[in-house]
A and B are shown apart, each in its own frame.
Chain A
Amino acid sequence: MTHTDGEDYLIEQLRAGDPGALEPLIARHAARVYRVAYGITRSAEDAEEVVQDVFLTLVRKISTFEGRAALGTWLYRVATNAALIKRRGKRAQVEVSLEDHLPAFKDDGHRDGDRSFLLLDWSLKPDEELLSSESRATLARATEALPEHYRAVLVLRDVEELSNEETAEALSESVASVKSRLHRARMALREELTRHWSRA
Chain B
Amino acid sequence: MNCKDAIGVLADFLEQSLSPEVLAELERHLADCGPCRAYLETYRKTVELTGRAEQIEMPEEMKARLRSLLLDELRGGRS
Residues of A within 8 A of B (CB): 17, 19, 22-23, 26, 30-31, 34-35, 38-39, 44, 48, 51-52, 55-56, 59-60, 103, 105, 108-111, 115, 118-124, 130-131, 135-136, 139-140, 143, 154-155, 158-159, 161, 179, 182-183, 186-187, 189-190, 193-194
Given contacts A51-B66, A131-B53, 19 further A-B contacts (CB under 8 A): A19-B74, A30-B66, A31-B58, A35-B56, A48-B62, A56-B69, A110-B3, A119-B34, A119-B35, A130-B49, A143-B50, A143-B54, A158-B47, A159-B55, A186-B11, A187-B7, A190-B42, A193-B46, A194-B42
A34, B58: Cβ atoms closer than 8 Å: yes
B42 and A55: CB pair below 8 A?
Answer: no
| A-chain residues with CB within 8 Å of residue B74 when the two chains form the complex | 17, 19, 22, 59
Is B77 close to A, CB under 8 A?
yes
In chain B between 48 and 79, which residues have their CB closer than 8 angstroms to a CB of chain A? 49-59, 62-63, 65-67, 69-71, 73-75, 77-78
Cα–Cα distance between A60 and B70 once the two chains are bound (Å): 10
Interface size class of B (residues with CB under 8 A): 35 or more
Q: Please tell me if the beta carbons of B38 and A59 are within 8 angstroms of each other in the complex.
A: no
Which one, B38, B50, B66, B69, contacts A189 given CB within 8 A? B50
Q: How far is the CA of A110 from the CA of B8 in the complex (A)?
A: 12
Q: Within the assembled complex, what's the spacing in Å between the Cα atoms of A161 and B74? A: 32
